[in-house]
Amino acid sequence: AAPTELDITFRSCIPRVSYRALPSLHPGLCRSVVPKALIMRLDFDALAFFDILIHLCVLCKSLIIIATFVYTIFSNKTPIQEMDLIQEIIDRAKAQPQHIVFPEGTEERTLKAADRLLRDSVVKLTLIGDPYAIRSRAHDLGLKHVLNANLLDPKNHEKKQAYIDLLLELRGSKGVTPEKAALLVEDPLYLACLMIKAGDADGELAGAINSTGDVLRPALQIVKTAPGFSCVSGLFLMFLPNSDYGHNGLLFFADCAVMPNPDAAQLAQIAVASAGTAKAISGVEPKVAMLSFSTKGSAKHEMVDKVVEATRLAKEQAPHLAIDGELQADAALVDKVAKLKAPGSEVAGQANVLVFPSLEVGNIGYKLVQRLAGAEAVGPILQGMAAPVNDLSRGCSVEDIYKMAAITANQAIAAKGL
């Protein structure tokens, strides 16, 4: 054969080559792997055409990869949305720095977060704990900014007697004796709440080493509820990856942290408080779904009755609020299901605030969404309290403490009407 003629498998090869194999396809390779019986004789022009085709395929594949990459970045709203919202919260805190107390002042993650918060001027801080222990821990960890915090020794400080008196005034009728008060004020969790009650601090953040109950009890006894509320509850911001549910994947879940079994009146308060928190923290217009295992009378049970009554009470308390119930989770979130199960509802299919009928459901629900759907859960943000006190998970990170301190500061700003 003449040297300008090449043996390749043009017609026989292409149909057998998968899309993924195209970039590696080369006439030379084809020539070497295809049985002689299939080989056709083509002239040089055909080879040039084939080469161009191959390069076009490679180019197309590259373009598809780039397009997929760009789509993935821009369609994945969650990280960007979460970063934006948290950054807004941090910026608002910086604009009017609030005085936050960390009762777990010697704890390592708390110290690291405190160092960053003070470095970034997000809040003013009091760390409760033995000042010598705090300084030496900070030194060991190489932290400098944390030394700008107010360090408060719970056993020995100038306002100790004033706080004992305040505690007696608040809890004397509940059986707190002077001896007991003298002991309780040395408990950092009680001391932090007394500081808030006395107006010496704006908010508290704890829970890195203490249980939720231990953090909440002194707050409920001393800081107490905000006017118009008798019930404190805990809300989570849930950032869902690649989701259009709620507000572009941002949902608010409550109560996931405090009230084990709220009655209808308490559930109504949780709904109204959650709508307020959602609006205050994110600016998102709340659409509140009162969740149940029934949608608009599809099931009959006293547990359903509670949710129906709570919805009625919440509407009474907040007539302009977009709230509906009882709704199943799919009717609350999915437009198609909503049209079938709750036609005409202004909330069904578009809910962004989900109110659970009990703590059992709320706590299990948020953890399932966090673990199974990969949602970022920020909270619990306590609501209904006279001043902000927030609880951390004992598994929290330095980043979690930093974010929650900024959220606590935002709540303090909102509570003061600043």
Smallest distance from the beta carbon of 147 to ligand ACO, in angstroms?
31
Closest to ligand ACO by CB, 131 vs 362, is: 362
Q: Which two tokens stand for residue 88?
A: 């807004």
Pairing of strands 6-8, 203-206: unpaired
CB neighbours (10 Å) of residue 283? 10
Does residue 358 interact with ligand ACO by CB under 6 A? Answer: no
Judge whether 325 and 307 are in contact, CB under 8 Å: yes
Does residue 363 interact with ligand ACO by CB under 6 A? Answer: yes
For ligand ACO (CB under 6 A), the number of binding residues is 18
Closest to ligand ACO by CB, 357 vs 380, is: 380
The distance from CA 327 to its chain's CA centroid, rounded to whole angstroms, is 23
SS3 208: coil
Does residue 213 interact with ligand ACO by CB under 6 A? Answer: yes
Closest to ligand ACO by CB, 96 vs 358, is: 358
Does residue 122 interact with ligand ACO by CB under 6 A? Answer: no
Q: Classify each residue of 124-142 as buried b or exposed e, where b means 16 or more C-beta atoms within 10 Å of its C-beta.
A: bbbbbbbbeebeebbeeee
Choice from 260, 344, 395, 417 touching ligand ACO (CB under 6 A): 260
Q: Classify each residue of 370-387 as buried b or exposed e, where b means 16 or more C-beta atoms within 10 Å of its C-beta.
A: beeeebbbbbbbbbbbbb
Choice from 217, 279, 312, 339 touching ligand ACO (CB under 6 A): 217
Does residue 170 interact with ligand ACO by CB under 6 A? Answer: no
Choice from 380, 383, 405, 410 touching ligand ACO (CB under 6 A): 380
Binding region for ligand ACO (CB under 6 A) out of 38-46, 186-194, 216-224, 285-293: 216-224
Beta bridge partners of 382: 234
Closest to ligand ACO by CB, 96 vs 221, is: 221
Pairing of strands 376-383, 389-391: unpaired
Choice from 216, 238, 250, 314 touching ligand ACO (CB under 6 A): 216
Smallest distance from the beta carbon of 67 to ligand ACO, in angstroms?
41
Q: End-to-end distance of the chain based on CA atoms, in angstroms? A: 90
Distance CA 151, CA 153 (A): 7
Binding region for ligand ACO (CB under 6 A): 174, 212-213, 216-217, 220-221, 225, 231-232, 256-260, 363, 380, 393
